Structure 1
Amino acid sequence: MSANSFRVCVVGAGSSGIAAVKVLAERGIEVDCCELSDRVGGNWVWGNRNGVSAAYRSLHINTSRQRMEFSDFPMPENLPDFARHDQIADYFAAYVGHFGFGDRIRFGTGVAHVEPEPDGSFSVTLSTGDTERYDAVLVANGHHWDPRMPEPMFPGAEGFRGEIMHSHSYTEEEQLAGRRVVVVGMGNSAMDIAVDASYHAAATYLSARRGVHVIPKYVWGKPYDQIAGKEWLPSALRWPVARKLMAAATGPMTRYGLPEPDHKFAQAHPTMSSRILDRLAHGAITPVPNIERFDGDEVVFTDGRRVAADLVVFCTGYKISFPFFDRDFLDPSGDNEIRLYRRVFHPGVPGLYFVGLVQPLGAIMPIAERQALLIADHLQGRYHLPGAAEMEREIDRHRRRISRRYVASKRHTIQVDYDDYMRDLRLERRRGARRPAGRTPADRPVASAAAREEIRA
């Protein structure tokens, strides 16, 4: 039995899923991709029929297209540096068409249940009711679909006479028109929605629990991420330079009425927006502190200010969840803590891989592509994992680095630096190619394929 007779199921055909399917298909590996929607693209498809994607009409990329594109399929040069959602969705569709693997994707088909079997394979139950057996499962369902509301919710919310919603439910500017809007949060979605509201709402308030460093999309006439974004440049040099650059480009955040950040630049996931600083400077958005409570049709802030509001939009992030698993393989603490070797391999469940389950300071697409190459190497016996103890040590080291580097937040549990992580994946492929095989139970998918077939027969 050849290694390529493996059957692999990829969950999701968003940007990470299609990268994985393309790599596996090119290697001759039998792969099926299950996609709930009727097209590829995931969060970049506005009005996606899957019912879980979070695109809004004004959505544009925050990473420049040159740093976002797949390595062997450049984005069209006529696209702007920071392209719109439909342009990105069309790019993903063109990627699938160009490499000809669309027949590997089962559209309109979700994954309802994944069950590891005693022989090391997986029973995958589909939304159609069918159950199929696979030798490996690649999870690429994303982590921006299960909204996280404030925990606990602010007092008085149950009696608030306006509307409360999560940013996941925001789709177009008409939801804001003529209303008094409070946007809660300081991430990218919060900035985008606040800017949209500043043009369409009767009044716009931006509520911040803590300060952030806002990065303009252009610095010195170039996309910000093309100045110091180099894989060979170590972070110890990159971030001190970037901090001086950002300070010169924007000045202190207090100049715009925002709170002083309690951390250095790059010690939290970046907030990218050129428009928010302009709208704040023109008084179109009023910055306010954190919410203290709701009172009738008013929102009361921690400094005692009150504003009448018709709509409060919580941009408070997402839970990392996998509804197709019976039990929680990844997050026993319930705190978004993910234990994966190199952010890809589950050390306790052989044949279970994760693609795109990172929050990078940069784009996810080239990362997913490189992760998929690592997985394909493992499936075909070209790459081998270290022993179980070494994998656990690597996971612990990564978690310690995260806790030292970033401010405490549920969004930082899967954080990586784009260039550092891309380099790490490249070097890990080399290290794994030199390791002996079978040092850990997780390092056995190819070796056990024939044995599994005998068990099934």
Structure 2
Amino acid sequence: MRIAVIGAGVAGLSTAKVLKQAGHEVTVYEKAPDVGGVWSATRRYPGLTTQSPKAQYSLSDFPMPRSFPQWPTGEQVQAYLAAYATHFGLGPCLRLSTEVLSATPVPSGGWTLTTATESAQFDKLVVANGIFCEPLVPAFDGLSEFVEAGGKVMAGTDLHTASEAAGKHVLVVGYGKSACDVTVPLSEVAASTTVIARHLLWKVPRKVGGILNFKLLLLTRMGEALFRYRVLRGVERFLHGRGNGMRASMINSIGSVSVRQFGLRDLDLVPPGQMEDIVRGAIGLATEGFFEGVTSGRIAVQKNRTIKRLSAGTAELDDGTRLPADLIVCATGFTQGVPFLPPSVTAQVLDERGNFQLYRQILPVDAPDLYFNGYNSSFFSPLNAEMAAVWIAADLAGAVSRPSAPDMRAAIAEQLAFMDEATNKHHSRGGKIIPFSLHNVDEVLGDLGLNISAGVRASHWLNPVNPAAYRRITPAVLGRLPAATTSTPTATPIG
């Protein structure tokens, strides 16, 4: 088939690679001039690193270089993905610097995609533009006066060098990982740096107690099982039943260590609730140097505050505090949008609240010839995207045992209702599955009647999940399909 993929980030590239190996003709459209998605040079901000360690953020059949640090920089991840595209021969598939203006379903089947220079027909469409596609910048009162006086308001993804903050009074709006990441390098050159945090969030230390890598605690199947899933199986029944006290102690002890390790009581930055509430907000890794900067006075935090109004050189907070401001960097999240799809299709894809209705985070039941990938953001986003790509390849060949359409709709509604409850509706309109990454992998592979061995899965209860354990899944599935090219070059890391 002729298949179009919109987006050349992790999801788009892994989809293209798997579908190409399955024998399809694939074209990948990417509006940026390089591959990488959120890691593109057009979106990288100072201080950007992965949240998961490099082994857990790797694709199964292409390890990151040994020379990379434990938490690679944005530039290194982009280089890794570019090397992945080269290694698997995706260059001829890529249409970089090419934005899809519209994707229109053809009545007889398939899609017409239109760019600024051409229109092309495809049998199927995979949307892989990501749930972090457009930064969300608040509309501040007094913005025009602030800008006319020389002030600047920008999304964090539009700030590419710390030098833009040199000598300026900087306000960073937000308290998630990206906000804290960008704050540290800016604070090293700015006249002053203040974080405006509407809510304090729990931060997981990269090394708990300064010694134990957090992946040994949370990036395991046991770590995932500490959070209650929709369906409880095996050990999970015990952990959320008779063992609930032990379970809560295990997860909340990380919070206690975090408070002591970062001196949060002395800084008056202890978040409300307990560490297990982290799933109801945002699971964020602590940024190296952030709390040290607060301790030294280089970084100030205005907690439980928002910006009420801007004026020339000044930002007034909702409690009346007035702060000098030249540059305001908004790390306030993203919107999840598909502006290239017509309203008739978005009406089939989105529910009345704007949530994406996707079976297994992949399939819109009522929109023919359309798939999504990357709408399963997790601690193991590359692995989840890769397994979704395999599911798509199998479904194209009729090798997925799908439930009936009514049953799939019911499953989608049940999953969204569960995530509403589990995350307090902080699930990126249905596109985020943290912390239930491996449950999603198991469900996707369950549809294919395939998984890694029970022994390896058991080892992942106590050891960090290694995506390389799944490297044989793709060839195993493709080997069942007609016209698939299952031979692949030996994976060699860059660097």
Q: 2:385 aligns with which of 368, 375, 378?
A: 368
Unaligned runs of 5+ in 1: 1-5, 49-53, 432-457
TM-score when normalising by structure 1: 0.84
CA contact (8 A) 2:401 2:447 kept: no
The more displaced of 300-309 and 364-373 is 300-309
Please say if 1:351 is aligned against 2:369. Answer: yes
CA contact (8 A) 2:11 2:374 kept: yes
Task: Tell me if the contact between 2:48 and 2:182 (Cα under 8 Å) persists in the aligned partners.
Answer: no
Find out whether 1:216 has 2:205 as its counterpart.
yes
Pair 1:225-2:239 in alignment? no
Matched, 1:290 2:306: yes
- SS of the aligned residue for 2:338 comes to coil
* Residue of structure 2 aligned with 1:159, choices 136, 142, 145: 145
Give yes or no for contact 2:206–2:214 (8 Å, CA) kept in 1.
yes
Return the offset for 1:408.
4.1
Unaligned runs of 5+ in 2: 229-238, 240-246, 451-495
**Aligned partner of 2:162 among 140, 152, 173:** 173
- Aligned with 1:323 (options 334, 339, 352): 339
Counterparts in 2 of 1:191 and 1:38: CA distance versus 1, 3 Å: same
Select which of 443, 467, 475 maps to 1:424.
443
1:206-244 alpha-carbon deviations (Å, 9 max, x no partner): 111111001222225343124332247523457763332
Question: Could you tell me which amino acid in structure 2 is paired with residue 223 of structure 1?
Answer: N
SS in 2 for 1:227: helix
The corresponding residue for 1:444 is: none
Q: Which residue of 2 aligns with 1:301?
A: 317
Q: Distance in 1 between matches of 2:87 and 2:141?
A: 53
The two structures have a TM-score, normalised by structure 2, of 0.78
State the SS of the aligned residue for 2:134. coil
Q: Deviations over 1:280-304 (max 9, x none)?
A: 1222111112223334432222333
Question: What amino acid sits opposite 1:347 in the alignment?
Answer: V
1:149 maps to: 137
Aligned counterparts of 1:290 and 1:408: Cα–Cα separation in 2: 21
Equivalent position to 1:339, from 347, 357, 364: 357
Q: Percent identity?
A: 27
Q: Distance in 1 between matches of 2:47 and 2:439?
A: 31
Contact 1:179 1:310 in 2 (8 A): yes
Q: Distance in 1 between matches of 2:425 and 2:272?
A: 14
User: Is the 1:374–1:429 Cα contact (8 Å) retained in structure 2?
Assistant: yes
Distance 1:38 1:353, change over 3 A: same
Instruction: Select 1:281's aligned residue among 288, 291, 295.
Output: 295
Q: Distance in 2 between matches of 1:229 and 1:34?
A: 32
Residue deviations 1:399-455 (CA, integer Å, cap 9, x gap): 111111113447464221223322232223339xxxxxxxxxxxxxxxxxxxxxxxx
Shift in Å at residue 344 of structure 1?
Answer: 0.6
Maintained 8 Å contact 2:112/2:122: yes
Amino acid in the other structure paired with 1:258? L
Deviation at 1:332, TM superposition (A): 5.8
| Contact residue 58 and residue 172 of structure 1 kept, 8 A | no
Q: Out of 251, 256, 259, which is 1:247 matched to? A: 256
CA-based RMSD: 2.4
For the pair 1:207 / 2:225, whether they are aligned, the reply is no
Asked if 1:138 is matched to 2:147, the reply is: no
Cross-structure match for 1:260 = 271
User: What corresponds to 1:441 in structure 2?
Assistant: none
Distance in 1 (CA, whole Å) between partners of 2:327 and 2:218 is 40
| Segments of 4+ moved more than 6 angstroms | none
1:45 Cα deviation from its structure 2 partner: 2.6
SS at match of 1:205: strand
CA distance in 1, matches of 2:50, 2:166: 24
How many angstroms does 1:184 deviate by? 0.8
What's 2:243 paired with?
Answer: none
- Change beyond 3 A, Cα 1:145–1:414: closer
| CA–CA distance in structure 2, aligned partners of residues 128 and 65 of structure 1 | 38
SS in 1 for 2:280: coil
Deviation of the 1:177 alpha carbon: 0.8
What is the alpha-carbon distance in structure 2 between the residues aligned to residue 77 and residue 242 of structure 1?
Answer: 31
- Please name the residue that 1:125 is paired with: 114
> Kindly tell me: are residues 64 and 349 of structure 1, through their superposed partners in 2, closer, same or farther at Cα, counting changes over 3 Å?
same
Whether the 8 Å contact between 1:114 and 1:123 is mirrored in structure 2 is yes
In structure 2, the CA distance between the partners of 1:278 and 1:302, relative to structure 1 (3 Å rule), is same
Q: Give the stretch that moved more between structures: 217-226 or 312-321.
A: 217-226
Distance 1:261 1:412 in 2: 25
The total of aligned residue pairs comes to 416
Q: Is the 8 A contact 1:173 1:196 kept in 2?
A: yes
- The alpha-carbon deviation at position 259 of structure 1 amounts to 5.9
Matches of 1:97 and 1:415, distance apart in 2 = 29
Q: Distance in 1 between matches of 2:316 and 2:33?
A: 43
2:173 paired with 1:184: yes
2:19 is aligned to 24
Tell me the amino acid that sits aligned with residue 293 of structure 1: R
Structure with the greater relative contact order (CA < 8 A, sep ≥ 6): 1 or 2? 2
C-alpha distance in 2 between matches for 1:193 and 1:311: 13
The answer to whether the 8 Å contact 1:35/1:107 transfers is: yes
Say if 1:28 and 1:194 are closer, same or farther in 2 by CA, change over 3 A.
Answer: same
Counterpart CA distance in 1 for 2:23 and 2:396 is 11
Amino acid at match of 1:7: R
Instruction: Tell whether the 8 Å contact from 2:184 to 2:290 is kept in structure 1 after alignment.
Output: yes
**Contact (CA 8 Å) 1:210, 1:262: kept in 2 or not?**
no
In the alignment, the residues of structure 2 paired with residue 280 and residue 357 of structure 1 have an alpha-carbon distance, to the nearest angstrom, of 35
Residues 293, 101 of structure 1: alpha-carbon distance in 2 compared, 3 angstrom cutoff: closer
Q: Indicate how the Cα distance of structure 1 residues 259 and 170 shifts in structure 2: closer, same or farther if over 3 A, else same.
A: farther
Correspondence 1:104 to 2:93? yes
Pair 1:391-2:381 in alignment: no
Helix, strand or coil at the partner of 2:398: coil
| Distance change in 2, residues 1:310/1:229 (3 Å) | same
Please say if residues 135 and 333 of structure 2, whose CA atoms lie closer than 8 Å, have aligned partners that are also in contact: yes
Is the contact made by 1:147 and 1:319 (CA closer than 8 Å) also made in structure 2? yes
**Contact 1:317–1:411 under 8 Å retained in 2:** no
